C-alpha cells in the first residue's frame, strides 16, 4: 500500500508579526489552540502528490513559489523502489516528479542556491554501501546531472547552498566524514575531514563561504550514539567539535543565520544557530527520549538547551530563515509516531519556549522543513499530503 507524503504550507497575514498580536487558527482536524501558533496562522488542507512517492526526507524552497523535495518511491509492478525528486511551482499546492539519473538509489538532502541551481545528495544504488551521489540542476530542474565524487565516497548525507553562491556537502570518504565542494573543472573534491569521532553528518548550515555548522552523530558503542555539533571557519578545511549540553542525544537538524558585528557588518562567527534532536541515544528502533532544542547566539561557542513544552520525542529538522524557527519531528515516542510541527516563541533568544503548533493527522514523522518567510513554510514527511494556509 502506497504511503503519500505530508506537505504543509504555513501562511500568515502581516498582522500576525506585530507586537502584541494573538493570531488565531481555524480548520484542520488537529489544529492546536491559537495561542500556541506564534506568528503563524492558517488551516490544514490536503494536497495531492504523484505516485509512487512513498516518503520525503528534505525540502528546499529558494523562493516562496518554487520548492523541491527529495526522498524515495515504493516498488510497483513496473519498477523497483528508488529515489523521489518532486517540484512545485505554486508554493506546494501541486507537485510534479522530475527525472533523476538512473544510477541514483536514494536522495536524503537537498539545497538550492537559486531557483535555477539546486543540489541533492544521497547514494548510488540500493545496496546501502555506496558510492555516494551528488546530483545538480542549473536549469531549474529541467535536467539533473550526476556529479563525480571522490573515490571511496560511500554516502553523501548533508548539503547546504548559499543564496547565489557555492554549495557544500558532507559525505563519508574512506571512512571519514569529509567536506565536499564543487571544483571549477566539475568533479566534487574533498577539502577536509571532520574530527575522527564523527560517524555520520545529519545536517549542514552555512552562513557564508567560510562559516558552516554541522550536526552529526558520534558512536558510543554498537547500539548508541550521542549528538555533536562541528564548526568550520575556513570553508571546511578544518573542523572542531563544539561543547553541547550534557544529555544531548542524537541531533538531526541545524540552521544558522549570520550575526552582526559592532560596526554593523554581517559576521559568520557571531551567527545565531538552532540545532534540534532528541535525548535518546539508541541508534535504531523506537524513540524513547524527549525533543531537544539547542540554541547559540555566538556562533556555537556556547550552546543552551531551550525548554520544549510540546509532547515531542524527536525533532528531525529546523528552519529559521523566517525569523521565528519552525521545527518538525515526532509527537510520541512509540509507534504510530504522529507527525509534529513545533514553532519557537516569537523573537527567540535565551527565553524562547518551544510550543506545539500544529500536529498533522499522520501516523509517521515529519522529516523536513523550509521556511522562506512568515508567509511561506513547507514541511514534508509521510502518510498523507496536506497544506496549511490562511486562504
Residue 140 lies in a domain: yes
* Gyration radius (Cα) of the chain, Å: 19
Distance between CA atoms of 160 and 195, rounded to whole angstroms? 19
What span, in angstroms and rounded, lies between the C-alpha atoms of 327 and 200?
21
In this predicted structure, what is the pLDDT of residue 391?
43
Quick one: pLDDT at residue 227?
A: 94
User: Is 203 strand, coil or helix?
Assistant: strand
| Spatial separation of the C-alpha atoms in residues 122 and 381, rounded to whole Å | 17
Q: Mean pLDDT throughout 172-196? A: 95
Instruction: Give the SS3 label for residue 299.
Output: coil
Domain assignment present for 4: no
User: Is the CB of residue 16 less than 8 Å from the CB of residue 389?
Assistant: no
SS3 338: coil
Q: What is the pLDDT of residue 267?
A: 62
Residue 19 has pLDDT above 50, yes or no: no
Note the pLDDT of residue 1: 36
pLDDT of residue 350: 57
For 309-364, the pLDDT digits (tens) are 777 888 999 999 888 888 988 886 555 556 777 777 655 555 678 887 766 656 67
Task: Look at 197-211, 338-352, 372-386 and tell me which has the smallest mean pLDDT.
Answer: 338-352
Asked if residue 373 is part of any domain, the answer here is yes
Lowest mean pLDDT across 97-101, 285-289, 308-312, 323-327: 285-289
Q: How many domains does the chain have?
A: 1
pLDDT score recorded for residue 372: 85
Task: Using the predicted structure, report yes or no on whether residue 48 has a pLDDT greater than 50.
Answer: yes
pLDDT attached to residue 353: 82
Domain membership of residue 3 (yes or no) is no
- Asked if residue 342 belongs to a domain, the reply is yes
Count Cβ atoms within 10 A of the Cβ of residue 373 and give its class: 0-12 exposed, 13-18 middle, 19 or more buried.
Answer: middle
pLDDT of residue 30: 34
Q: Where residue 293 sits, what CATH number does that domain have?
A: 2.130.10.10
- The pLDDT-based confidence of 160 (bands split at 50, 70, 90) is very high
- β strands within 174-250, DSSP E: 176-182, 188-193, 198-206, 212-221, 224-232, 240-242
Q: Is 2 a member of any domain?
A: no
pLDDT in the model for residue 15: 25
Predicted pLDDT at 341: 78
The residues, ordered by sequence, that sit 6+ positions from 303 with a Cβ below 8 Å of its Cβ are 229, 242, 243, 244, 245, 275, 294, 295, 296
Averaged pLDDT for residues 213-227? 91
Share of the chain above pLDDT 70, in %: 76
pTM of this prediction exceeds 0.85: yes
Among 77-91, 151-165, 190-204, the range scoring the smallest mean pLDDT is 77-91
Q: Which domain holds residue 142?
A: 13-258+270-389
Residue 6 lies in a domain: no
Q: What is the pLDDT of residue 31?
A: 35
Q: Is residue 294 part of a domain?
A: yes
| Mean of pLDDT over the chain | 81
Over range 253-281, report the average pLDDT: 80
378 forms bridges with which residues in the sheet?
9, 370
17, 292, 334, 344 from 357: Cα distances, Å = 16, 16, 20, 9
Amino acid at each position: 500500500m502506497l504511503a503519500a507524503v505530508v506537505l504543509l504550507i504555513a501562511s500568515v497575514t502581516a498582522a500576525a508579526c506585530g507586537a502584541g498580536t494573538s493570531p488565531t487558527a481555524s480548520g484542520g482536524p488537529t489544529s492546536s489552540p491559537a495561542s500556541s501558533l506564534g506568528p503563524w496562522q492558517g488551516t490544514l488542507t490536503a494536497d495531492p502528490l504523484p505516485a509512487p512517492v512513498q516518503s520525503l526526507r528534505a525540502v528546499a524552497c529558494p523562493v516562496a513559489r518554487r520548492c523541491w523535495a527529495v526522498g524515495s518511491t515504493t516498488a510497483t509492478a513496473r519498477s523497483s523502489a528508488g529515489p523521489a525528486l518532486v517540484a512545485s511551482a505554486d508554493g506546494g499546492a501541486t507537485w510534479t516528479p522530475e527525472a533523476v539519473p538512473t544510477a541514483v538509489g536514494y536522495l536524503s538532502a537537498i539545497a538550492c542556491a537559486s531557483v535555477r541551481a539546486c543540489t541533492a545528495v544521497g547514494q548510488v544504488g540500493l545496496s546501502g554501501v555506496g558510492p555516494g551521489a551528488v546530483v545538480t540542476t542549473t536549469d531549474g530542474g529541467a535536467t539533473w546531472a550526476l556529479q563525480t565524487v571522490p573515490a571511496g565516497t560511500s554516502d553523501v548525507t548533508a548539503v547546504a547552498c548559499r543564496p547565489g553562491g557555492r554549495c557544500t556537502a558532507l559525505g563519508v570518504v574512506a571512512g571519514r566524514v569529509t567536506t565536499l565542494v564543487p571544483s571549477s573543472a566539475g568533479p566534487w573534491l574533498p577539502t577536509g575531514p571532520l574530527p575522527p569521532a564523527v560517524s555520520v553528518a545529519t545536517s549542514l548550515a552555512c552562513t557564508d563561504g567560510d562559516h558552516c555548522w554541522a550536526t552529526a552523530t558520534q558512536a558510543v558503542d554498537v547500539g548508541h550514539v550521542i549528538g555533536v555539533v562541528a564548526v568550520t571557519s575556513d570553508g571546511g578545511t578544518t573542523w572542531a567539535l563544539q561543547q553541547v549540553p550534557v544529555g544531548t542525544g542524537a541531533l538531526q537538524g541545524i540552521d544558522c543565520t549570520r550575526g552582526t558585528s559592532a560596526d554593523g557588518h554581517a559576521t559568520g562567527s557571531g551567527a545565531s544557530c538552532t540545532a534540534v534532536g532528541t535525548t535518546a541515544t539508541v541508534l535504531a528502533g523506537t524513540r524513547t527520549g524527549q525533543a531537544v532544542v539547542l540554541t547559540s547566539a555566538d556562533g556555537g561557542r556556547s550552546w543552551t538547551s531551550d525548554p520544549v513544552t510540546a509532547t515531542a520525542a524527536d525533532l528531525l529538522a529546523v528552519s529559521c530563515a523566517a525569523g521565528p524557527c519552525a521545527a518538525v519531528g515526532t509527537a510520541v515516542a512509540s509507534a504510530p509516531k504522529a507527525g509534529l510541527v513545533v514553532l519557537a516563541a516569537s523573537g527567540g533568544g535565551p527565553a524562547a519556549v518551544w510550543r506545539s503548533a500544529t500536529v498533522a493527522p499522520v501516523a509517521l514523522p515529519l522529516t523536513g522543513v523550509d521556511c522562506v518567510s512568515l508567509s511561506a513554510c513547507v514541511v514534508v514527511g509521510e502518510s498523507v499530503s496536506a497544506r496549511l494556509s490562511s486562504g
